[in-house]
Structure 1
Amino acid sequence: MALDPADLPDDIVALKAMVLAARTLADDAQSEIQNLKLTIAKLQRDRFGASSERGGKLLDQLELQLAELEASVAADNVQVAIATGRMDEEEKRRPARRPLPDHLPRERLVHADSGTCHSCGGDRLRKLGEDITETLEYVPASWKVIQHVREKFTCRTCETITQAPAPNHPIARGRAGPQLLAHVLFSKYRAHLPLNRQSAIYASEGIELDVSTMADWVGACAATLQPLVETIEKHVLSAERIHADDTTVPVLAKGKCRTGRLWTYVRDDKPFGGSAVAGGHPERRQCAAPATLFHYSPDRGAQHPERHLAAYTGLIAHSGTIRPVIPI
């Protein structure tokens, strides 16, 4: 709760007691924060064990509790600084703030003054300089409907009707634009936001998108991107050496959450100067572009990587689960 300096007691003894109580609360919270950090670190180390699902839920709860405690400690420190009149010292103890990203667009908001001198009231002012303070702002996503217009023309000479061809679209007869499709795919596969939660978010913004509709979009995009996947696979598996690993992926199911596997195969020739791109002098050859190939499986069976790498004949750097075993 915010503390107004005007509400502070005038009595020195009462003020000292208030400051001492606030510091005690902050110290207790800080101790609990350290204990939570140790517990979270242990859970993160054990997250791939037999009880990983139960540990993952506990980890989420502890991280939420930790965030709330850290916010509470920050508020207590500010209250103490206000009560003791040491707000400047509190500001100095905070870590240095990183500058805001340079790639973001800047919008100038000029706060106009009265236009007269604050001392004599004169209006003969000339600009001496300016002070700029930057704040980071979030612009909520916006929706729009793009109308693709193809005008028809008739030739006055031969009466032939001409019209521009229909634009290409990622999904045949689809009504979702490429940016919306990319956003749905990113939210699902990179931000791990299920389609049902995306549907609820869009509904809160006044856009009704059924889960089944978005599922059709995802499937159609997968089919459209298949040639790109095959190109990446061919590029990765043509390397002299690849790095391989797998990680767990939570998969929604009725009444529970299953654990799938995401297999990762990485080509990165730079560390050892691998095969060169075609052409060029041997002494000036450049390493092929790095790339990553992903495969999903419902379990960790050895048959999955064996199928993924059936045609691969190079070296594999791995964590001990992929065959053939070739140590690096």
Structure 2
Amino acid sequence: LPKTLPREVIELDLDDDEKQCACCQHSLHKIGEDRSEKLEFTPAVLKVLEYVRPKYACRQCEQTEDKNHVVQKPALQSIIPKSFATESLLANIILGKYQYAMPLYRQESLFTQSGIELSRTTMARWIIQVSEKFAPLYAALKVHLLEQVVVQADETPLNVLKEDKQCYMWLYCSGADSPDTALPNVRNIVLYDYQNSRARSCPVAFLGDYDGYLQTDGYGVYDGLHLVTNVGCFAHARRKFMEAKKLQGKGKSGKADSALAKIQKLYGIESRLKGACAEKRKAERQEHAKPILDELYEWMTTQKVLESSPLGKAIKYTLGQWP
């Protein structure tokens, strides 16, 4: 278990009357101990924070002046004024819905079990209010994101209520190793853009006049972004070859292994370069990765396989992403 977790030591010692020898009744002495660890879970705790703000007034002024000045600490500011929701409660509701896919009706049920009547309507309103508060931050992050040299994009289906067609969550992010050194404190930005469409108009509207490198899975709508330079993703290419490898049979080698071996070498180079500066990454890739890429390209263009086969599809996909 992780050493960083807090630990509570529970000693299971003998009672005093048990610390005597069963044979001769002499006192026993400690010769060692055994230790074992178990992972304990403490459920979330709900509590009410009652803020008391004493009021103060001057007795002298009460007698001599028409107006008596009352003094007290101002109420604490809240992200949602006049709401009983603390920031921690709001964060937990939002995290539950969007990070852990727990619908609000299920969260409503959990609160009910704790004796709290908190409707999904109220929680939905809170989420909207919080999103409105964070809109300026989202806009600022988007400005920084579109200043990056490389942006990654993807879209995934999203099931929602009361929509007449399939909806999508579009994701745009900067790489953790972005070569842009102008923003040393903004190394990784991830923004989500909800749309009820998978059309080209969605990335066009989000990216605007972005003219950097756009890394995607090769979905056709990105080809219509004429200002960007489209680049492929070897994680997706590798996945295609892995699908072809599965059909070779367990323990059997085949043509897909040749491609996977070359891709694995590329992964090894990237692993060694993790944390390196952009200049070093470029130099190392030109020296070590480019020959492997050239070899992979030549291998793919000389294979005689059915285009409709899993390996043929993997090769076609990868060549389609080639610059």
TM-score (norm 2): 0.62
How far off its partner does 1:311 sit? Answer: 3.7
Give secondary structure in 1 for the equivalent of 2:214.
strand
Q: 1:302 to 1:126 in 2, by over 3 A?
A: same
The question of 1:102 aligning with 2:3 is answered yes
Cα displacement (A) at 1:294: 1.2
Partner of 1:148: 51
Partner of 1:277: 182
The alignment status of 1:204 with 2:204, answered yes or no, reads no
Cα separation, 2, equivalents of 1:118 and 1:277? 74
User: Is 1:268 equivalent to 2:175 in the alignment?
Assistant: yes
Determine the C-alpha separation between the residues in 2 that align with 1:123 and 1:166. Answer: 67
Shift of 1:175: 0.8
User: Would the aligned equivalents of 2:21 and 2:28 in 1 still touch at CA under 8 Å?
Assistant: no
Counterpart in the other structure of 2:189: 291
| SS class of match (1:327) | strand
Q: Please tell me whether the aligned partners of residues 251 and 258 of structure 1 are also in contact (alpha carbons under 8 angstroms).
A: no
Task: Provide, for residues 271-315 of structure 1, a one-character-per-residue CA deviation record: whole Å limited to 9, x for no partner.
Answer: 6xx22136xxxxxxx585111111110121211111101142322
CA contact (8 A) 1:259 1:299 kept: yes
* Residues 212, 229 of structure 2: 8 Å contact kept: no
- Percent of counterpart pairs with the same letter? 31
Q: Deviations over 1:93-120 (max 9, x none)?
A: xxxxxxx222322122222312222434
Question: How far off its partner does 1:125 sit?
Answer: 4.3
Q: TM-score, normalised by structure 1?
A: 0.61
Q: Which runs of 5+ in 1 are unaligned?
A: 1-99, 279-285
2: CA distance between counterparts of 1:119 and 1:221?
68
Two-structure CA RMSD over aligned residues (Å): 2.4
Partner Cα distance (1:253, 1:130) in 2: 62
State the partner residue of 1:70: none
**Matched length:** 218
Could you tell me which amino acid in structure 2 is paired with residue 277 of structure 1?
A
Q: Report the AA paired with residue 236 of structure 1.
A: L
Contact 2:56–2:72 (Cα < 8 Å) also in 1: yes
Structure 2, unpaired ranges of 5+: 63-68, 232-323
CA–CA distance in 2 between the matches of 1:287 and 1:148? 37
2:176 and 2:50 map into 1 onto residues whose CA distance is 46
